[in-house]
Structure 1
Amino acid sequence: MAGSKMLSQDVADNIMSMITIEKRFGAGDKLPNETELAHELNVSRTTLREAVRILVAYGVLEIRRGNGTFVTEKARQGEEILGPLSDVKADAGDLYEMRLIFEPEAAYLAAIRGTDGEIKRILECGRRIEEAIREGSDRTQQEQAFHKSIAQATHNEFMNKLMPILYQAISKGVALSAQGGQAVQDTVADHRLIMEFLSQRDAEGARSAMKIHILHAIRELGIQ
Structure 2
Amino acid sequence: MMPKRLSDSIADDIMSMIAVEKRFLPGDKLPNENELSEELDISRTTLREAIRILVTNGILEIRRGKGTYVKEDIDVNNIESFSFLADAKINAKDLYEMRLIFEPEAAYYATIRASDTELKRILEYGRRIEQKIKHNEDRTELEQKFHQSIVKATHNEFMEKLMPVIYQAIDKGVILSNKKEMAIKDTINDHSMMMDFMKNRNPEGAKSAMKIHILHAMKELGIE
The TM-score normalised by the length of structure 1 is 0.59
Q: Which amino acid aligns with 2:170?
A: I
Matched residue, 1:201:
201
For 2:123 and 2:193, the matched residues in 1 are separated by 11
Identity %: 64
Task: Decide which structure has the larger Cα Rg and report it.
Answer: 2
For 2:176 and 2:125, the matched residues in 1 are separated by 20
For 1:150 and 1:136, the matched residues in 2 are separated by 24
For 1:110 and 1:131, the matched residues in 2 are separated by 24
For 2:203 and 2:92, the matched residues in 1 are separated by 27
Matches within 5 A, 1:122-141: 122-141=122-141
Deviation at 1:185?
A: 0.2
Matched residue, 2:181:
181
Paired residues of 2:92 and 2:173 also in contact (CA < 8 A): no
Matched residue, 2:81:
none
Which digits, 9 at most, give the CA deviation of each residue in 1:4-25, with x for residues without a partner?
A: xxxxxxxxxxxxxxxxxxxxxx
Deviation at 1:131?
A: 1.3
Matched residue, 1:217:
217
Matched residue, 2:101:
101
Structure 2 spans left out of the alignment, 5+ residues: 1-89
Paired residues of 2:126 and 2:146 also in contact (CA < 8 A): yes
Paired residues of 1:126 and 1:146 also in contact (CA < 8 A): yes
Q: Which amino acid aligns with 1:202?
A: N
Paired residues of 2:186 and 2:216 also in contact (CA < 8 A): yes
**What is the total number of aligned residue pairs between the two structures?**
135
For 2:195 and 2:176, the matched residues in 1 are separated by 23
Specify the SS of the correspondent of 2:223: coil
Paired residues of 1:178 and 1:184 also in contact (CA < 8 A): no
Matched residue, 2:146:
146
For 1:223 and 1:159, the matched residues in 2 are separated by 24
The TM-score normalised by the length of structure 2 is 0.59
Matches within 5 A, 1:39-188: 91-188=91-188
Runs of 4+ deviating beyond 2 Å: 175-178
Which digits, 9 at most, give the CA deviation of each residue in 1:192-211, with x for residues without a partner?
A: 01100000000000000000
Paired residues of 1:110 and 1:150 also in contact (CA < 8 A): yes
Q: Which amino acid aligns with 2:137?
A: S
Which digits, 9 at most, give the CA deviation of each residue in 1:97-153, with x for residues without a partner?
A: 000000000000001001011010000000110111122111100000000000000
Deviation at 1:217?
A: 0.7
Paired residues of 1:121 and 1:149 also in contact (CA < 8 A): yes
When the two chains are superposed, the root-mean-square deviation of aligned CA atoms in Å is: 1.1
Q: Which amino acid aligns with 1:168?
A: Q
For 1:118 and 1:171, the matched residues in 2 are separated by 24
Paired residues of 2:177 and 2:221 also in contact (CA < 8 A): no
Deviation at 1:174?
A: 1.8
Deviation at 1:178?
A: 2.4
Deviation at 1:221?
A: 1.3
Q: Where is the helix percentage greater, Structure 1 or Structure 2?
A: 1
